[in-house]
Amino acid sequence: MPRTSRQRPVDLVALFPELARYQRTATRLHPRRGNPGVHDSSVGGPLLWPADEPWPVCAGPHHVTDALPVRTAEVRADRQGLMKDQPWDALYLDVKKTNREILQAGPLPLMAVAQIYKRDVPGLPVPDGKDVLQVLWCPLRGHQGHPDDWLNMPALHLVWCRAADVGEVLTEQPEPPFLAYESYLPESCVLHPEEVTEFEYADLLPEPLRTAVDEWDEENGRPYQEWSIADGWKVGGYASWHLTDPYPMICDCGSDMRLLLTIASKEWQGRDGLWRPVEDADADADHRDACTPTKVTIGRGYSLWIFRCPESFDHRHRISVQ
């Protein structure tokens, strides 16, 4: 079933004509539980990975700190209701013992997180000749080699490929045996892409437009912040900076980076949030199936914003957590 975002209560461009210069198209991915295949766009599904290419690994060395580590297989079993008779803490492992096991395990296979075909998301930026973006991550922390360890986030690995070049597909796709948090294991979801219009974050608008928007927000309870940038998993659009003040996302080459992908803890905020799709109006009271279909949680319910360099896909990405 497709998903449709509700129409904004007001036309922001009609209110602020200058906003037309600061709008972008974003694609809400609307992941929902399903059984995608290797030829589908998905979250938590199998990747179109060549059988003759090695699966990417993270060399580490890894460790767990404040997390309660879990085994991937046991998280899957718990979600299938196979551990109902176990004590509440049966999933969680002894940190010291687990660290020894992790250190002895050596390089760990990365976890498949998402696969997006350009045919499903026309706005997806891809290198020339490529048409698929694959996202993997290491769900543990590293003593070294994890550039975003300071954020306590999974280390991301982005792959672009050409679907037509993949012959025999790897059917038994490995995954890391341990997770720092069970919320780093995405549920298998199909995508229902929908294009929406977004507007620049208010604090990054030029004066006097920013002043006009701020004054309107004060009169109307800050609706611009809620209405300008979509909730949920999405490709492109604008980043929200509601947790921190905006800070520059600059590539090592000096270029301003653009938002590539947002990995969200929730598909919408609040029971009556603007970004709750029309088709989910009758979702269950706690919204767990519709609002948190992937079971991925970033930090304390935040979103992971992934930026890319517009000059070259070979330049490393950067992230922010908001």
Report whether 197 contacts 13 (CB < 8 A).
Answer: no
**Paired tokens of 204:** 């990054």
Section 163-189 average pLDDT: 95
| 26 Cα distance to chain centroid | 14
Q: Please answer whether residues 160 and 313 qualify as being in contact, where contact means their C-beta atoms are separated by less than 8 angstroms.
A: yes
Count of beta carbons in the 10 Å neighbourhood of residue 197? 15
Closest Cα to residue 246, out of 236, 259, 261? 259
**11-20, 121-130, 146-155, range with the lowest pLDDT:** 146-155
SS3 317: coil
CA dist., res. 98 & res. 90, Å (int): 14
Across residues 174-180, what is the average pLDDT? 90
Q: What is the pLDDT of residue 208?
A: 96
Give, in order, the Cα–Cα distances in Å from 228 to each of 18, 224, 245. Answer: 14, 6, 17
> What is the residue-averaged pLDDT of the chain?
90
What are the residue ranges spanned by the domains of the chain?
1-31+192-322, 35-185
Query: How confident is the model over 10-25, as pLDDT tens digits?
Result: 999 999 999 999 999 9
pTM of the predicted protein model: 0.93
HEC string for 33-100:
ECCCCCCCCEECCCCCCECCCCCCEECCCEECCCCCCEEHHHHHHHHCCCCCCCCCCCCECCHHHHHH
Which phi-psi region, left, alpha or beta, contains residue 110 (left: φ > 0; alpha: ψ -120 to 50)? beta
More confident residue, 146 or 159: 159
Residue 286 has pLDDT above 60, yes or no: no
82-110 pLDDT, tens digit each: 877 777 666 667 767 777 777 667 788 99
Quick check: 125 pLDDT over 80? yes
Query: Is pLDDT larger for residue 87 or for residue 165?
Result: 165
